[in-house]
Structures are given as structure tokens and as C-alpha cells.
Amino acid sequence: MAKKRAIDDLLGVMARLRAPDGCPWDREQDHKSIRLNAVEEVYELLDAIEAEDDAEMEEELGDVLLQVVFHAQMAKERDAFDFEKVARNITDKLVRRHPHVFGRAKVEDVAGVWNQWDAIKQTEKAGTINERKSAFDGIPSHLPALMRAHETVKKARKHGLLANGRKSKAKEELGKQLFKLAQRAQASGWQAEELLRAETVKQEKILRQKERGRQNNKND
């Protein structure tokens, strides 16, 4: 007799928790009520990875998986999708976006892999409601401010909307400067996170305008 897979047990447990005679807390949740749980679990996973603690990493990966299963179960109850479809979609996506592994495409290096990935993604989303017409579409608005600023600058430079800045030779010194800026903000009674988020949103709007202007010039 084949051994039952652990993932099947997990899916069964979640379905039972959400059943009419299941757990009152689990039953009253919806996608929005637990949306921040996934963020918290990912941060705890990051801590385990940085600590190089395999036992803790194993546990935290399970907690992250629980969030996936929880949302998939709620979606199944709405006849939207289920865990099987989630797993199938990501499997198919990985195969499609790695034609140099699963097909006959050729790439020279990691940069070639990323360029191919972006091109395939653009083709997949073309003509859909998720079509990304701007280089900045797809940057999550809820990213921490520093990560959002980093992604905005990276995409702007990749598409020639920002010049490559002067590289810092001292990584630790740059880190100190960032910390000092946070100190200055706190001393002034401001949240550094909010300041950087507001400025990033402002700069992204400027970059989007520059991007549209360049596209209009091409069309003329």
C-alpha cells in the first residue's frame, strides 16, 4: 500500500478545520483577515535562514506553506481555484520560462536567462488585464520602502531611464550613512520608512512620465 503523502494530509487537515463543525477561528477567516500572516511568516523564515538553523528553517517553511494551503482552501470553497491548480500553474510557468532547460533555447549566461524570462513574461501577459505596459508595473506597492526604492531604481536603469550612479567602494560606510539618515528622521519626529516611501512614489511618477514621453517619441 502506497504511503499517503504529507501534503495530502495537510490539505485534509485544513479542509477539516474549515468544515462547518471545524475550528471557529479558522472558519471565520477570509483572504484579507490573514493576509499579513504570510508577511510575518516570511520574515520569520528569513531569520531562520540567516541564522543557518535548519530545524527552525524547516518549521518556518511549514508555516509559509500553511498560508498557501489556507488561501487555497478558501478559494476552493468559492469555486475559484484549489491547491492542485496553484501547484500546476507554478510548475507550468517554470517549464515555460526555462526553455533553455526544457526546450531547445540557448542562453550564454545568467543575464541571458533573465532577459529571456522577462521576454516570456511580457508575451504571456500581453493582451490580458495584467499586461505590463510600463517597466514599473509589477513592483508590489506593499514592499518595504527601501526594497521598493531599490526595485524602482533597478528597473529604471535597466530601461535607460536613469543613468548608472557612482558606485560606493565601502559597503559598510554606505550602510552607516543609511542608518544615520534613519537617525536624523527619528530625531526630527519622522518615520524614515514613510519618508522614503513617499519619495519613491514621487520619483516613480516622474520616471513613468519620462518613459511615456520616450514611447510617444518613438511612435511619432
pLDDT at 118: 87
* pTM of full prediction above 0.85: no
Residues 140 and 89 grouped into a single domain = no
Is 144 part of a structural domain of the chain?
A: yes
Same-domain check for residues 87 and 138: no
| Whole-number Å distance between alpha carbons of 33 and 180 | 36
Q: Are residues 145 and 204 in the same domain?
A: yes
Q: What is the pLDDT of residue 220?
A: 67
Range of the domain at 176: 133-220
Domain membership of residue 127 (yes or no) is no
Question: Domain boundary residue among 34, 67, 95?
Answer: 95
Give the pLDDT of residue 169.
78
Residues 220, 152: one domain?
Answer: yes
Place of cell 548608472: 164
pLDDT at 170: 87
* Residues 216, 139 share a domain: yes
In a domain, 14, yes or no: yes
- Residue 148: predicted pLDDT: 96
Would you state the pLDDT for residue 163? Answer: 87
> Over pLDDT 70: what percentage of the chain?
99
Per the structure, the count of domains in the chain is 2
| pLDDT mean values, one per 10 residues, the chain (220 residues) | 86 98 98 95 97 98 98 98 98 97 95 92 85 88 93 92 83 92 96 95 95 82
Is 122 inside a domain boundary?
Answer: no
C-alpha cell recorded at residue 138: 509589477
